[in-house]
Amino acid sequence: MDISKKTENDVCELSLTGRLDTTTAPQLEETLKELFAQETKDLVLDMSQLDYISSAGLRVLLFAQKSINAVQGKLALKHVKPEIMEVFEITGFTDILSIEK
């Protein structure tokens, strides 16, 4: 998985490319920990190039949401592909995460 980062107006956007699975989830988690250490409060995850998400990826998204909630920030997911959205719906993550259409 590739992660690219850009920051604009105090909002950090991470673009995820590839697969978010057991192998790549630690990479995203480490990136998020670094951002939260820098006191990032508003985060957008662009998922337009994300092809797959496993339970390990879901765990990292849950970690991100809990971390953002702790600092009263905002996490938004955008450009979620239908196959990824189906996973979110089945697991109930649509009730936990803010997903922009």
Q: What is the CATH number of the domain that holds 32?
A: 3.30.750.24
Write down the pTM of the prediction.
0.94
Helix (H) or strand (E) holding 62: helix 55-70
- Please say if the pLDDT value at position 91 is more than 90: yes
Q: Report residue 6's pLDDT band, with 50, 70 and 90 as the boundaries.
A: very high
The number of distinct structural domains making up the chain is 1
* Residue that is written with structure tokens 């996973």 in the block: 87
What residue numbers bound the domain in which 27 lies? 2-100
The model's pLDDT over 19-73, given as tens digits with 9 standing for 90+, comes to 999 999 999 999 999 999 998 899 999 999 999 999 999 999 999 999 999 999 9
* CB 28, CB 1: distance < 8 Å: yes
Q: Report residue 90's pLDDT band, with 50, 70 and 90 as the boundaries.
A: very high
* Residue that is written with structure tokens 């992660």 in the block: 3
